[in-house]
Amino acid sequence: MNIHAWPDYLSQLWPGLRTSFLLLVALVALGTPLSLLLASTQRSHRKAVRWTTIGIVEFARGMPSLVLLYLVYFGLPSFNLTLGAFTAASVALAINYAGYTSDAIKSGLDAVPMGQVEASEALGLSRGVTMRRVILPQAVRIITPPMLSWIIVYFQTTSIAFAISVPELMSKAYSIASVNFQYLGVFAVAGLLYAVVSIPGSQLVSALERRQQRGTP
């Protein structure tokens, strides 16, 4: 194992890591509003709305992320809609992410006491104002740690975008290694790059969780 070459691999992998991050930013930016929407429609009083939402959520997370990725990338052209690999990966992973995270958002919203909604109703606040000004600010505190840990999970999941050749970290690693045949060194550095982001991330989440457990009255 030639450890001296590792800094060199690192600099070659850097653009790939950047693309992985961009993909993460894109999927979180697309997925979070969708997740919020799914969480609130899951709380709807109308049965039809609730069941439709549950159907969408189960569809979004019932299949492997990889299959959803292929479905968006190779399936949308049937509707005369062809997305580039990066966009397709962002959309597919955003749907997948929204499916998983909507539960975390829903339980955060559910954790806000019913009395808060009643007080808002009694004050004549509209549903929109109640959501934005009363429920969300209280739910955000509860939701932040699980959402952060999902974001870390999805940072790792961006690696499957390799399968449709998005030039992210794994694609970069694969193309470097298939030229210099240094599979061990290149993949080890790539793997460590994931770990270097994920481990501090999970520690931040645990720190937040501990602080919250202390903070709750």
By CB under 8 A, tell whether 216 contacts other proteins: no
Instruction: Tell me which DSSP letter residue 63 carries.
Output: S
- For the CB of residue 118, give the shortest distance to other proteins in the complex, in Å: 6
By CB under 8 A, tell whether 181 contacts other proteins: yes
Stretch binding other proteins (CB under 8 A), from 9-17, 21-29, 31-39, 143-151: 143-151
By CB under 8 A, tell whether 118 contacts other proteins: yes
What residues numbered 53-82 form the site for other proteins, per CB under 8 A? 58-59, 62-68, 70-71, 73-79
Q: What are phi and psi of 19, to 5 degrees?
A: -65, -40
Cα(167)–Cα(183) distance, rounded to whole angstroms? 18
User: Among 46, 150, 55, 153, which residue's Cα sits nearest to residue 104?
Assistant: 150
By CB under 8 A, tell whether 84 contacts other proteins: no
Strands (E), the chain: none
- For the CB of residue 11, give the shortest distance to other proteins in the complex, in Å: 18
- For the CB of residue 69, give the shortest distance to other proteins in the complex, in Å: 9
Give yes or no for a contact between 147 and 16, defined as CB atoms under 8 angstroms apart: no
Task: Report in angstroms the alpha-carbon separations of 165 from 50, 131, 160.
Answer: 37, 41, 9
- Contacts for 68 with CB less than 8 Å, ≥ 6 apart: 60, 92, 93, 95, 96
- For the CB of residue 22, give the shortest distance to other proteins in the complex, in Å: 17
Residues that bind other proteins (CB under 8 A): 58-59, 62-68, 70-71, 73-79, 100, 107, 113, 115-116, 118-119, 121-126, 129, 133-134, 137-138, 146, 149-150, 153, 156-157, 159-160, 162-163, 170, 173-174, 177, 181-184, 187-188, 190-192, 194-195, 198-199, 202, 217
